[in-house]
Every structure is written in C-alpha cells, then in structure tokens.
Structure 1
Amino acid sequence: MKKLLNIILVSLMFLSADVLAQESIIPEINYSDLEKYISLAKQNYPRRKMFEERAIGAKTQIPIAQLSYLDVFNGSYFYRPKDRTVIDPLNPYNVNGFQFGINVNLGNFLQKPFTVKKAKADYKIARLEQEEYDTQLEMEVKRRYYDYIQQLSQLKIYTQSAQDNKGVSDGLKNRFERGEITLDAYNQSRVAQSGSSIAKIQSEVTFLKAKDLLEEIIGKKISDVK
C-alpha cells in the first residue's frame, strides 16, 4: 500500500509536465512578430548601425575621389598694369595686362583612376559586410526569439505542474488530518510540491533572461511591439 501511494504521488507530480511537454512549441511561434523583431533589430541594434554608417561613409568617398581630379590642375595668373614698362621687351610672352597659366601634375593625374576605383571597391566591401552582418543579425534574432518561446512554454508547464502538485498536497493534507494516510505519505507530497515550486521559480528566471536578451537586440520592450 505504501509503495503504491508513493507511485501515485510521483506520477501526479509529473503528470501535467509530461502531458504538456509532449506538445510542440511550433504553433506558439508567431512569424509576423518574428519579422517585426528582425526589422526592429536592423533599426535599433547599435552594431548594425555601425555597419550602416561605415557603408555610408565609404559611399561618400566616391564623389570625393572623382572631384579630386581637379587637384592635379593648378591655375595661376600675372597682372602688369598697361602703363608700366615691360621688364623684358624682347620676350614676347612678357606683356602688360593679365597672363594666365595652368600647371598639370601628371603623376597625380595618372593616380586618380585608381583612387576612384579603390573608393568604389571600399564601398562595395562595406556594403557586403553590412549584408553579411544583416544575415547574422537575423539569425541571432531568430535564435533569441525561439529561446524566448521555449522558455515561455516551459514556464507554462512548470506553473501548471506547481498548481497540480499544490492541489495534490492540499488534498493529501485533508486526508492526513482525517487519519486516512500516514505522515510519511503527506510529507512526500509536500516535498513534491516544494520541488515543483522551485522548478517554477528557476523557469521564471530563465524566461526573464531570454526575454531580456530578445528585448536587447530589438531595442524595444516586447510589450511595446505592435
């Protein structure tokens, strides 16, 4: 009789958990919410913003490199009033009035196409790095979301188990007070109730950690996501 009662107590302690644990968490996944979380992470996560700004900075270097072609040209002018005597009348290029000149740095000129090409390549690399990080960020959001759903489901299981065990313990308490069961049987029910309560508390902590990690990456409280 005593062994049979022990078996009943243990069975009741895990009955709710076993039944619920056999259910799939896949129906709990809301893909619409998941897409919102991914979009929010791309908008708010600081490291993603860093890659975005790096790509923008690399893009601005392209027109700067193209305009730098003007750097190879140096213009100059010389002005001598017409009422003054020419310094060297034998030099036909030394005249009164304005004289203009343009100097070209050939070495710099030949370097410019490569400078522009490098600027375009740097921008392309920055864009590829951003796309690569976007893929990694998307996978990380999914991982944290799945962990969140998993911990939420487990919390429901442990909560239900704790409630069931409390019901069993309360029932056995009444039976013990009526002298229908032994003190040992009643104590075992209390131990089972304590174990399920501890498991529920641990599950709550794990759930809160998973929730915090998800909210960290999306930059917003889950309750605020519409």
Structure 2
Amino acid sequence: MKNLLKITIAFLMLLSLDTYAQESIISSIKYADLEKYIALAKQNYPRRKAFDQGVQKAKAELPITKLSYLDIFNGSYFYRPEKKSVLDPINPYNVNGFQFGINVNLGTFLQKPFTAKKAKAELKIAEAQAEEYDLALVVEVKKRYYAYIQSINQLKIYTESVQDNKNTADNLKYRFAKGETTMDNYNQSRINFTNAQTSQIQAEVALLTAKDALEEMIGMKLADVK
C-alpha cells in the first residue's frame, strides 16, 4: 500500500511538472511581433516624438548660429542733398550725397565662438537624451508585452480551473443527491467553483488592462498591427 502511495505521489509530481512546462509563457512570446511593437512605439509614442522635436530644434539652431555672425556688423548711411551746402567745407569727408558706414560690435564678435560651441553642445545633449529614452522605451514596450502575454496565459489557466471546478461541483451535487458524499464536501466544491470564477474575472480584467497599456505605448490597436 505504501509503495502504491509513493508511486501515485511521484506520478502526480511528474504530471505537475509537465503541466507547468506546458503553461510556460516563453513559448508564447513572438519576437517578430515584439519588434513591430517597439518600432511603432518609437514612431507613435508622444514622449518619443517630443525628444525627436528636441533634436530637430537643436539642429535648426546651428545654421541660425552661423548666420548670427552677421549681427557683429551694423551698417549705416547718411544722405545730404546735392544742393545743400556742406556743414564743414574744410573736412573732405563731409560731402553731399550718400555716405555709408559699417560698425563692428567687438563684444558680440568675441561671444560668437562660444555661442556656436553652446549650440553644438546642446545638439549633442538632445541626441544623447533621445538615445537614452529609446533604450528606456524598448524596455517599457517589452515589459508591457510580457505582461500582456502573461495575462493571456493566466486567463487560460483560470478558465480551465473554472471548468474543472464546475465539473467537480456538478459531480458532487449528483453524488450528494444520491447520498454518496457529505454536505460539507458539496458546499466546499461550490465555494471552490465560485473562487475559480472570481479569479477568472480578475484575470480578464488584468488582460484588458495589459492590452490597453501596450496599445497606449504603440499608438494603435493590436488588431490593426500587421
């Protein structure tokens, strides 16, 4: 009898291990789909777009900085009609007609190299921040995808549990009606069935939540991803 009990326990342990292996989510992961989701998140997620705009803004500042070198020079002109007499006949540079001049702002001239370096540094910072966020984005998409796959598998387990507990409850109900089992066993089977149903509902909510979280990240419905 003891040997039979040991064999039965060993068989149940092997059966449990086999069931666990079948319920592993690793085989459910589709890496091709995951890569699609990562690409869509980089394309559609609003915060990712904000980092892209930051890089584009920093790039746009570079040509503006180069053109700002013209701010160093200030042009001016003076016009005196031909028929007017000159103010100072002795000064040969004080003549009638147009007179042009160019002024150089020395302070601005000295600042320009540093302004250009600052613009280049800000571009590098923006690019580094975008790259850093890309890494975080990939991790977050994977995290949400794995949670979604986990929820699918958990729902399968709880759905099977509901069916198993229902079968058990129906069987004990039949046996109780025939007087082959106790009221306690029958009531316990009903409690187990109710608990299994509750777990199934919670698993369904978890699946919907995980699905919404992933769709938020990729910017579209999973059903629309091709």
**TM-score, normalisation: structure 1:** 0.86
CA distance in 1, matches of 2:46, 2:85: 70
The 1:21–1:155 alpha-carbon spacing in structure 2 relative to 1, beyond 3 Å, is farther
Aligned equivalents of 2:182 and 2:88: distance in 1? Answer: 130
Q: Which structure 2 residues correspond to residues 157-172 of structure 1 after superposition, within 5 A?
A: 157-172=157-172
Partner of 1:6: none
Tell me which residue corresponds to 2:118: 118
Q: Distance in 1 between matches of 2:161 and 2:18?
A: 10
Further displaced range: 104-113 or 212-221: 212-221
> 1:206: which partner in 2?
206
Equivalent residues in 2 for 1:60-79, closer than 5 Å: 60-79=60-79
- State the match for 2:27 in structure 1: 27
With 125-134 and 213-222 compared, the bigger mean Cα shift is at 213-222
**d(CA) in 2 for partners of 1:158, 1:70:** 72
Runs of 5+ unmatched residues, structure 1: 1-11
Partner of 1:9: none
1:224 aligns with 2:193: no
* Alpha-carbon distance in structure 1 between the residues aligned to 2:148 and 2:16: 19
- Structure 1 counterpart of 2:140, one-letter code: E
Q: Are the structure 2 counterparts of residues 107 and 172 from structure 1 closer, same or farther at C-alpha, using a change threshold of 3 Å? A: same
In terms of mean alpha carbon deviation, does 106-115 or 186-195 score higher?
186-195
**Alignment match, 1:99:** 99
- Alignment partner of 1:179: what SS? coil
Deviation of residue 187 (structure 1)?
A: 2.3
Aligned length: 212
CA shift for structure 1 position 212: 1.8
- RMSD across aligned positions (CA): 2.0
In structure 1, what is the equivalent of residue 41 of structure 2?
41
Partner of 2:9: none
1:17/1:161 contact within 8 Å kept: no
The residue aligned with 1:84 is: 84
2:82 aligned counterpart, secondary structure? coil
Q: Which residue of 2 aligns with 1:131?
A: 131
The superposition leaves residues 108-133 of structure 1 with CA deviations (integer Å, 9 ceiling, x where unpaired) of: 11111110110111011011101100
What is the rounded CA distance, in whole Å, between the counterparts of 2:19 and 2:54 in structure 1? 48
- Residue in 2 aligned with 1:215? 215
| Higher RCO (CA 8 Å, separation ≥ 6 residues) | 1
Question: Hey, what's the Cα distance between the residues in 2 that align with 1:17 and 1:119?
Answer: 63
